[in-house]
Amino acid sequence: MTMSLGAHLIAGGVHFAVRARDAAAVELCLFHGLQEERVKMERDGDIFAASVAGIGAGQRYNFRAQGDWNPGQGLFFDAAKLLADPYAKLLDSRFCYDPRLGQRGEETAMLVPKAVVADPPVSRAPLPPLFKAGGLIYELNVRGFSRNHPEVPPSLRSTVAALAHPAVIAHLKKLRVNAIELMPIVAWIDERHLAPLKLHNAWGYNPVVPMALDLGLAPGGIAELAATVAALRQAGIGVILDLVFNHTGEGDLAGPILSLRGLDNRCYARKEDGTLVNHTGTGNMLDAADIAVKDLILHSLRHFASLGVDGFRFDLATVLARDPEFDRHAPIFSAIAADPLLQDRIMIAEPWDLGPGGYQLGHFPSNWLEWNDRYRDDVRRFWRGDSHAAGTLATRLMGSSDIFTGGTTRSVNFLAAHDGFTLRDLVSYAAKHNEGNGEEDRDGHDENFSWNNGVEGPTDDPAILERRNADVRALLATLFASRGSVMLSAGDEFGRTQKGNNNAYAQDNEVTWLDWEGRDRDLEDFVSQLAAARVACLAGQAADLVRHAEWRDLAGHVMTPEKWEEEALDGFEVRIPLENGSYVSLRVDREARQCALKRCD
């Protein structure tokens, strides 16, 4: 029954099915222009279904559910609320917040996007992923990435299709990118506090339904994503989708009723007293141990895998394995591993959430990669000048063996990501400056392990600018010299800035739109050289050879435990033997602001 949920073409019509476990009745709402036709759905256990003749692909529809209204018991049934199909693969418009969406008895047919019956995609087994562990991931925001790109036609800018443009592909290949990681591209809604501030969600981490693409980013729908994935694949570049299965845009109890809340609110985790669990910081948390949520997650992953994407990054991934505590052997992991469409896809965890026991770095399945925030923080601490930082840096450079056991490191090493400081801002601001977010600078992390080189923010002082440039190059060189996978945030290769904002989720403006015209081309060329050196020196490097590495101080003497403990240790050199008798040398010198990787024959 699970696979029949949603809308499916049948001979002479369409079959509709939706899960609504606590509903007294569900109606299918068919839209013909401005007219709404309601069809009673028949109940079969937890599923309501209806088959309608004489309609086909392109038919607009949604649901209405009837039953008790008792928010304290998790019941939000309101026949005035038009509810989007959780399994929809296409919508006719974008979600826009309106207070009436959360008000009992207020009609919302004119406010909620309609699901659209879609033609089934061409059935074909996806090709093996192009991305391999150890490669370079390039994280990007679809809208901000190409919004101001001078070589991309205006009609394509800010869309998924723009990523297949020859100018974009040329840039990615210059950096030797192995896969791009797209920040959320499925349909989302603004948080309700943004409208009074005249702000909009620029990141998309507030989804409503998990498969329908946001029409602002992909006006061509499924076909646009599939064509872009195919074009990038032809260029040797994979696509990884950042998906959010930890919460939805329905928010807290005062939030909008858009889909699951009005159909099957059991999908949300609740405490014994009936209040919502909020380990996500968004007002609600999906209960991934619930069969309905697990089925929806797996169906969504299969849908996107069938379009040829290499894999997925899971936002606040600890939530996936909560019941209610984190279980590293959670059923969702075995289900993914056993699924023919998913078992070879790349899986990347953001290995934490905000709840008790939420930090789970190193505890995901052995074939999953994990964002390594300890790498980020420890590399920053070393180059900031913190004491007792060199030994930890050495561990991070070699793949964080204190976190990831086994021969192949699962670490995704990064210095900056969509949340937090950009790389340029990291060496230009000692504190965050999020006043533009309208929360009096209360949002965003306070501890960024950043430094400003003597002046907070912009400066014309050539000495400070020189130090900042040297710092950025040292940080980037460290990243590209590290074992594990590497993630570069789009624009950091040419010095992007968010003017000190380290939580720019609501800045759909010049703060997050990449400045292609003003980019630092020298820095961009430097990153291209680092990428080439990484391939030449580290590609295919056997883990057992790393274990035979020689560690020396900057004077060439063999390192000892006592030297590693020196408070002011400013660097070291490691020599990693290769099978042909040559070796790779990595020399880190904090005082000289240098991290040099080379192959010695």
Token pair 């907070």 is at which residue?
Answer: 456
What contacts 496, CB < 8 A, 6 or more positions away?
A: 422, 423, 424, 490, 514, 515, 519
**Residue 229 in contact with residue 240, Cβ under 8 Å?**
no
Which of the 8 DSSP states describes residue 286? B
**Mean pLDDT of the chain, nearest integer:** 95
Q: Which domain holds residue 38?
A: 2-116
Assess if residue 221 is contained within a domain: no
Domain CATH for 23: 2.60.40.10
Assess if residue 261 is contained within a domain: no
Sign of CA dihedral 249, 58, 31, 303: negative
What does the pLDDT read at residue 539?
Answer: 76
**Residue 213 in contact with residue 185, Cβ under 8 Å?**
yes
Assess if residue 587 is contained within a domain: yes
Backbone dihedral angles phi then psi of residue 363, each to the nearest 5 degrees: -110, 10
What does the pLDDT read at residue 272?
Answer: 85
Question: At which of 51, 84, 116 does a domain end?
Answer: 116
Q: What is the pTM of this model?
A: 0.97
Instruction: Find the helix or strand (DSSP H, E) in which 64 lies.
Output: strand 60-66
What does the pLDDT read at residue 2?
Answer: 41
Instruction: Find the helix or strand (DSSP H, E) in which 467 lies.
Output: helix 462-480
Ranges in the chain, pLDDT < 50: 1-3
Beta-sheet pairing, 75-76 with 69-70: antiparallel
- The three-state secondary structure class of 10 is strand
- The three-state secondary structure class of 538 is helix
What does the pLDDT read at residue 463?
Answer: 98
Report d(CA 495, CA 507) in Å as an integer: 18
What does the pLDDT read at residue 542?
Answer: 57
What contacts 404, CB < 8 A, 6 or more positions away?
A: 362, 370, 410, 411
Distances in Å between the Cα of 560 and the Cα atoms of 158, 550, 551, 567 are: 53, 11, 9, 14
Paired tokens of 321: 């394995």
Please write the tens of the pLDDT for every residue from 498-540. Answer: 999 999 999 999 999 999 999 999 999 999 999 999 999 987 6
Assess if residue 124 is contained within a domain: no
Single-letter amino acid code for the residue at 302: R
Which of the 8 DSSP states describes residue 446? S
The residues assigned a catalytic role are 315, 350
What does the pLDDT read at residue 121?
Answer: 75
**Residue 64 in contact with residue 27, Cβ under 8 Å?**
yes
Assess if residue 75 is contained within a domain: yes
- The three-state secondary structure class of 51 is strand
Let me know the angle formed at the C-alpha of 341 by 44 and 186, rounded to the nearest 5 degrees.
75
Assess if residue 33 is contained within a domain: yes
**Residue 186 in contact with residue 545, Cβ under 8 Å?**
no
What does the pLDDT read at residue 320?
Answer: 98
Report d(CA 112, CA 368) in Å as an integer: 37
Question: At which of 116, 135, 156 does a domain end?
Answer: 116
Question: At which of 65, 85, 116 does a domain end?
Answer: 116
Assess if residue 456 is contained within a domain: no
How many folded domains does the chain comprise?
2
Instruction: Find the helix or strand (DSSP H, E) in which 468 lies.
Output: helix 462-480
Report d(CA 305, CA 292) in Å as an integer: 20
Assess if residue 95 is contained within a domain: yes
